Chains A and B, each alone.
Chain A
Amino acid sequence: MDKNAALEAAVEKRPARQRRNRAWNWRGLLLPLLAIVTALIIGALVIVFTDESVYAAFREGVGRGFVQAFTVIGRAYGAFFTGAFGNPVQIVSALASGNPVKITRAVYPITETLRIATPYIFAGLAVALGFQGGLFNIGAEGQYFIAGLLTVFVGYSITGLPQVIHLPLALLAGMAGGALWAAIPGYLKGKTGAHEVINTIMMNYIAFRLAEFLLDVGGPMARGDGRPVSPEIQPTAYLPQFFPNSVALRLHVGFLLALVVAWIVWWLLYKTTLGYEIRTVGQNPHAARYAGIDVPRTILVTMALSGTLAGLSGATDILGVLHFMPNAFYSGYGFDAIALALLGKSHPGGVVLASLLFGALRSGARNMQGMAQVPIDITSILQGLIIVFIAAPEIIRMIYRLRQPVEGEGAAISLTRGWGER
């Protein structure tokens, strides 16, 4: 009784505007922000504790040790910032001077960030869509490879088509490949209840071996010049570049496509019947079945759509950046996508923001590795920490002494079904 009374009072106190179900508001942004900041702090500690120069400086004196520690952190994160966004002063002066070489050098970091964010947006949307449907799609990486194989095949084997047909055809091939690869675990889950976590991971390894077979020297899709790569795709299948005259700036139209697709996913999830069915199955499959929704079919469709999105990440990377496909390697890319979906709370807008952050992280980390000698794997550590803090918000609240939310505010999306429910 008391709980209900308190809830009523709390609800009534909130202004009418806030009572509307907003997907994200400023309060909702606070936690992810704090999670990122805390992760960066811990990352800084890791960097400091594994740097010999800091230990050497401490041996000389505590004060010198701290100075060195902060210098190291400053250098690392400074390299990170300039690697991710570029030096603002440099950008302004380069633009003012009008010198194309200077502009290229100044603008390179931010274009790289956006370019790297593009496949992340697609992959994050894929996993987020899965989460909305109660499914855990870890197969983004395998779907990326299969889509890449199909895209590159359409790209190099078909000649004589104008770009306006060849490019969409290649993209469709990638989408189909990703959809198919994800539909298999989706079908198995609907039909036999086999959990998609393991099946998608298995499909990843199968895709990896398949790509290895096809692209290895002497394989059916290898270029034939002794390198384990595919032939180059036809120029008519290229995704248009933003800076066609520059070799260094590789930002391509795929980025805009990603933003458009994010909007489409939002519209699908929140404005269509199918999206409603997906979300209902995600929140309570029993209730969905009672309402007449065909749960196995919805699971299959959700996985297929998720795979399509993951496939687009591979397709755009090939068509926009690489223009061929190298022999695959398993890099844990799919797990990054999970972090993105969690950070964005499975909402397309959140996923886009999170992907921009991760693009910055990757692009900055490369610079950290080059200029400050911090191994690039620091990004995985940061990602892991971010997931931990997002998934367990109590930790952040405990650290920063934040208020507990009123019960019922910010309904969490139930992430998986049929496993780990206790």
Chain B
Amino acid sequence: MSDLLVTASKRRRARTMGIAFLVFAVAIAGLFGRGIQPGQQTTFVFQTSRDEVVAVGDLAVATRPAVYLTALVTAFLGAWQLARGFTRVDEVLGIVAGLFVVAFLTWAARGQSMNVTGLLKSSLLRAVPITLAALSGVLCERSGVVNIGIEGMMLMGAFLAALIGSISQNVWVGLMGAMAGGIVMAALLAVLAIRYKVDQIVAGTAINILATGLTSYLSSRYLQRNGALNSPPTFRPLALPGLSKIPIVGPALFNHTFPVYLTLLLVIGIQFMLFYTRWGLRSRAVGEHPRAADTLGINVFLTRYVNVLLGGMVAGLGGAYLVLSSVARFDELMTAGKGFIGLAAMIFGKWVPAGALGSSLIFGFADSLQTKLAILAVPIPSQFLLMAPYLVTMIVLAGVVGQPHPYSFS
């Protein structure tokens, strides 16, 4: 009997998906098919002017046919889903969303050009702090400690990066200082949550408030009065020889500053360590079933302490990146919610570093789209575009049904 119920709800979900795809198709045709002048073309440019790269020509498409083609493909996918159904519907949903975005870009840049490489590059750049925040969350939450205080740790990291970087005039020392700051705030969270068993969200909130207060206070006291304390050096971009000349993706991926490369390495490294080493297995065991781990002799407290401190270090790194990349100064409250968006990216990425990177890229893309669209003079007020990352976060969270925890059991 319950079998039938499961199949019935699965069928209903499949049908809803199919109808959703069709709605997407209609939206594409209806929204992005309008306002196009006959014969208009959209030019996709694949290199930025400053990078030496194997030259790839621009791709010019006739706008209206391109949009309608996209709508057609989406409609076809919807029809197929209704008739036969895809086995991996979620992937197809991702494809449909991608088609929607492509159609939107084609429409937005009608009669003008859109620099695809530039878009990819800035997406990655904006994704870096979010990725680091998400990685911090993954490390902490996989071992059983919810870390709401990532925002505060990033803020502290940013502040110390600016201060120590300015005093030492050395980016590396500034980076170390930021990581130390993140570790200190994480230590506070660890002590509160592990030793005193404070509710972890309250502890994280306290960290945020303390970090906000301390950094704003010290910034008013010292940084704002003495400009020399708020002018750290920045990282210079490092083009990887050979790789950065690859067309289209080369400049987007291989011509960045050190923290960006470090972030990508961290994603790979933490993924490997969590799932392919003994330490990772123990950490996950502690998070999934601390009592069982304890009976095996794993020191639950120590494991949690180590993971939370590592998470703090990574979050501090995220804050340092905000300051030491191009901005080169600390402004009060400069993290602007990136810690929380990182948490959303972590949940969307199913608490896996690779997934966190993927969803951070989506957020970064939404963020960078907003500036591009302003340049293209798309008639949507900039504030609505600025809302995009937050709306995407909420939609994403709503889609991950009933799974607020990496180890939910029914």
A residues in contact (CB < 8 Å) with B: 46, 50, 136, 138, 188, 191-195, 197-199, 201-203, 205-206, 209-210, 212-213, 216, 330, 332, 335, 338-339, 342, 375-385, 387-388, 391-392, 394-395, 414-416, 418-420, 422
Contacts and interface: CB of A to CB of B under 8 A. Distances in A.
29 contacts: A188-B398, A191-B398, A193-B403, A194-B397, A195-B404, A198-B340, A199-B397, A206-B391, A209-B386, A209-B390, A210-B387, A213-B381, A332-B209, A338-B202, A342-B202, A377-B212, A377-B217, A380-B210, A380-B217, A381-B217, A384-B206, A384-B212, A384-B213, A388-B192, A392-B192, A392-B196, A419-B404, A420-B146, A420-B199
A201 B402 contact: no
B333 interface: yes
A419 B146 contact: yes
B199 A394 contact: no
| Secondary structure dominating the interface of B | helix
B144 to A, nearest CB: 5
Q: Give 4 closest A-B pairs by Cβ, nearest first.
A: A380-B213, A384-B210, A420-B200, A375-B220
Given A198-B340, A377-B220, A385 B210 contact: yes
B205 A335 contact: yes
Contacts of A394: 196
A213 B382 CA distance: 8
Chain B interface size, under 10 / 10 to 19 / 20 to 34 / 35 or more: 35 or more
A51 to B, nearest CB: 9
A339 B146 contact: no
B101 interface: no
B354 interface: no
B175 to A, nearest CB: 25
B384 interface: yes
Interface in B165-207: 188, 192-193, 196, 198-203, 205-207
Interface in B350-392: 381, 383-384, 386-387, 390-391
A199 B144 contact: no
A383 B404 contact: no
A392 B198 contact: yes
A95 B336 CA distance: 48
B398 A192 contact: yes
Given A209-B387, A379-B213, 15 more contacts: A50-B218, A188-B398, A192-B401, A194-B398, A198-B347, A202-B344, A205-B390, A330-B333, A375-B216, A384-B210, A387-B205, A392-B203, A414-B199, A419-B146, A422-B287
Given A377-B220, A383-B213, A394-B196, A212 B383 contact: yes
Given A394-B196, A419-B201, A380 B216 contact: yes
A202 B217 contact: no
A126 to B, nearest CB: 15
B340 A391 contact: no
A395 B394 CA distance: 37
Given A391-B206, A415-B199, A377 B394 contact: no
B402 A198 contact: no
Residue in A188, A339, A392, A422 with the greatest tally of chain B CB atoms within 10 Å: A422
Contacts of B211: 384
B337 interface: yes
Residue in A136, A376, A381, A395 with the greatest tally of chain B CB atoms within 10 Å: A381
Contacts of A202: 340, 344, 390-391, 393-394
B210 to A, nearest CB: 3
Contacts of B391: 202, 206
Given A335-B205, A335-B209, A188 B200 contact: no
A416 B199 contact: yes
B15 to A, nearest CB: 19
A194 B217 contact: no
A387 B202 contact: yes
A141 to B, nearest CB: 12
Nearest to B213: A380
A320 to B, nearest CB: 27
A188 B397 contact: yes
A375 B217 contact: yes
Contacts of B390: 202-203, 205-206, 209
A321 B220 CA distance: 28
Contacts of B206: 384, 387-388, 391
B148 interface: yes
A415 B202 contact: yes
Contacts of A191: 398
B337 A377 contact: no
B343 interface: yes
B397 A387 contact: no
A50 B386 contact: no
Nearest to B147: A420
B198 A136 contact: no
A295 B160 CA distance: 45
A193 B402 contact: yes
B213 A381 contact: yes
Interface string B208-231: 111111101110111000000000
Interface string B137-167: 0000000111010000000000000000000
Given A205-B337, A392-B192, A213 B384 contact: yes
B405 interface: yes
A138 B213 CA distance: 17
B400 interface: yes
Given A193-B403, A212-B383, A391 B202 contact: yes
B192 A209 contact: no
A416 to B, nearest CB: 5
A197 B214 CA distance: 23
Residue in B211, B212, B287 with the greatest tally of chain A CB atoms within 10 Å: B212
A333 B68 CA distance: 48
B232 interface: no
Contact of B209 (A330, A378, A384): A384
Contacts of A335: 205, 208-209, 212
A382 B384 CA distance: 36
